[in-house]
């Protein structure tokens, strides 16, 4: 699989008028090579040229990983003394003839550490953003990738169901998050979660990206739980909102509005329509209900090897949805200082429509 992906990458570089691509550790390097490296104080870079040549600069202690590489690549290992690391980069650049060439980099992932070694190794090179080149390769998932995301969804859903009995008034957000992390691991998630679970109750739930704190849940709170699992390198990203005991009628109302907006966004997703249509459909429900100013973010984002990747469900995004694209639909209403609601599902575009990988109930569940 990785070898076929390398061929596609080579063709994409040629079409983008780039001579090479430089990737440091991250999802795109795993996608292209199948190899996993940590981002650490020792730099790692993989080079891929438009001619199909590949090379890796890496610590000597990591060279055993290259035995699993499904295609030929030159290795330029270095030792522990940082004084010699520039030499490894220069040797790699010289072997591939990179100086003076257009070397693409992912600006969202390339660290300054590796980038400075690249500049020193090829001082006459230019470094255009190759983010769109790489995302175009990853944006349409194949059957194996979708199957992995289905497993990640199943793990995440089972973990939450095992956590719910522990949730009641008096338990803190942090305690719930800790239990959910344990259950994610027990149910089969890799320890590299797509993100740390968001568990936010009451006023904190009005912050879409709140971090779990020590506030105990109180009767009348809404509780937003946004979590996901990682299976075989692919992720899930789900949100459900719960009530802690009896809640204000307005909070039930906004939950029902968000539930309808979620359904409208999912219904709008199909091949041939722009990403904007998904956002507009969900947002229209919330705006017509009088809560438009409290829906403060886009309706969704792509998922796969990362929790946030292309395509993005924004009202200005005219990118057309195609079979294999996977993304979230997650409208929300956030009343500052009071409570918030978000309902999020994971979607995949099919040949004639879209399917939801997530299946947990979207109706408001009351936790006593």
The shares of helix, strand and coil residues in the chain, as percent rounded to the nearest 5, are 40, 25, 40
Q: How many helices (H) and strands (E) does the chain have?
A: 9, 18
Question: For the stretch 4-36, what's the b/e string if a residue is b when 16 or more beta carbons lie within 10 angstroms of its beta carbon?
Answer: ebbeebbebbeebebbbbbbbbbbbbbbbbbbe
* All structural domains of the chain with their residue ranges: 2-138, 143-367
Give the fold, CATH level 3, of 143-367.
Answer: Creatine Amidinohydrolase (3.90.230)
The residues pairing with 225 across neighbouring beta strands, listed in sequence order, are: 199, 240
Residue 312 near residue 275 (C-beta atoms within 8 A): yes
The Cα–Cα gap between 282 and 341 comes to 14
pLDDT at 4: 85
Q: Domain 2-138 - what CATH class?
A: alpha beta
Q: Name 356's Cβ contacts closer than 8 Å, sequence gap at least 6.
A: 266, 345, 346, 347
The Cα–Cα gap between 226 and 207 comes to 12
φ, ψ dihedrals at 205, nearest 5° = -70, -15
Terminal-residue alpha carbon distance, the chain: 49
Residue 233 near residue 333 (C-beta atoms within 8 A): no
φ, ψ dihedrals at 188, nearest 5° = 120, 10
Enumerate the H helices of the chain as residue ranges: 2-15, 27-33, 85-96, 112-121, 131-138, 143-163, 173-186, 249-268, 275-288
The residues pairing with 366 across neighbouring beta strands, listed in sequence order, are: 243
Long-range contacts from 26-31, C-beta under 8 angstroms, 24+ separation = 26/106, 26/109, 27/138, 27/233, 27/304, 27/305, 27/306, 27/309, 28/106, 28/109, 28/134, 28/138, 30/233, 30/305, 31/5, 31/137, 31/138, 31/305
The Cα–Cα gap between 237 and 349 comes to 16
Structure token digits, residue 241? 């909102």
pLDDT at 2: 63
Residue 186 near residue 160 (C-beta atoms within 8 A): no
pLDDT at 1: 52
Residue 98 near residue 19 (C-beta atoms within 8 A): yes
pLDDT in tens, the chain (368 residues): 567 888 999 999 999 999 999 999 999 999 999 999 999 999 999 999 999 999 999 999 999 999 999 899 999 999 999 999 999 999 999 999 999 999 999 999 999 999 999 999 999 999 999 999 999 999 999 999 999 999 999 999 999 999 999 999 999 999 999 999 999 999 999 999 999 999 999 999 999 999 999 999 999 999 999 999 999 999 999 999 999 999 999 999 999 999 999 999 999 999 999 999 999 999 999 999 999 999 999 999 999 999 999 999 999 999 999 999 999 999 999 999 999 999 999 999 999 999 999 999 999 999 98
């Amino acid at each position: 699989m990785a070898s076929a992906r390398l061929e596609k990458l080579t063709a994409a570089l040629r079409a983008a008028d780039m001579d090479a691509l430089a990737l440091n550790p991250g999802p795109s390097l795993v996608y292209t090579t199948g190899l996993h490296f940590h981002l650490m104080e020792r730099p790692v870079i993989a080079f891929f040229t438009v001619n199909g040549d590949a090379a890796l600069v890496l610590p000597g202690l990591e060279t055993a990983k290259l035995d699993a590489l499904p295609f030929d690549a030159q290795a330029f290992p270095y030792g522990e003394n940082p004084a010699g690391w520039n030499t490894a980069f220069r040797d790699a650049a010289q072997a591939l003839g990179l100086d003076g060439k257009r070397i693409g980099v992912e600006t969202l992932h390339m660290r300054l550490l590796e980038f400075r070694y690249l500049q020193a190794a090829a001082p006459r090179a230019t470094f255009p953003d190759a983010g769109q080149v790489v995302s175009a390769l990853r944006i349409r998932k194949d059957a194996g990738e979708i199957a992995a995301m289905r497993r990640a969804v199943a793990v995440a859903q089972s973990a939450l169901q095992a956590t719910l009995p522990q949730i009641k008034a008096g338990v803190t957000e942090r305690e719930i998050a800790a239990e959910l992390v344990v259950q994610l691991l027990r149910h089969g998630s890799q320890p590299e979660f797509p993100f740390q679970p968001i568990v936010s109750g009451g006023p904190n739930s009005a912050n879409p990206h709140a971090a779990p704190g020590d506030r105990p849940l109180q009767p009348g709170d809404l509780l937003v739980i946004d979590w996901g699992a990682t299976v075989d390198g692919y992720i899930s990203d789900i949100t459900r909102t719960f009530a802690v005991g009896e809640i204000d009628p307005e909070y039930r109302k906004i939950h029902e509005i968000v539930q309808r907006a979620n359904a409208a966004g999912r219904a709008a997703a199909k091949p041939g329509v722009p990403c904007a249509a998904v956002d507009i459909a969900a947002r229209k429900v919330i705006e017509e209900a009088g809560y438009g100013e409290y829906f403060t973010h886009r309706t969704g984002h792509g998922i796969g090897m990362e929790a946030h990747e292309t395509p993005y469900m924004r009202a200005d995004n005219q990118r057309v949805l195609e079979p294999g694209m996977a993304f979230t639909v997650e409208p929300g209403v956030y009343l500052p200082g009071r409570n918030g609601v978000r309902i999020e599902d994971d979607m995949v575009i099919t040949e004639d429509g879209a399917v939801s990988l997530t299946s947990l109930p979207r109706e408001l569940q009351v936790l006593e």
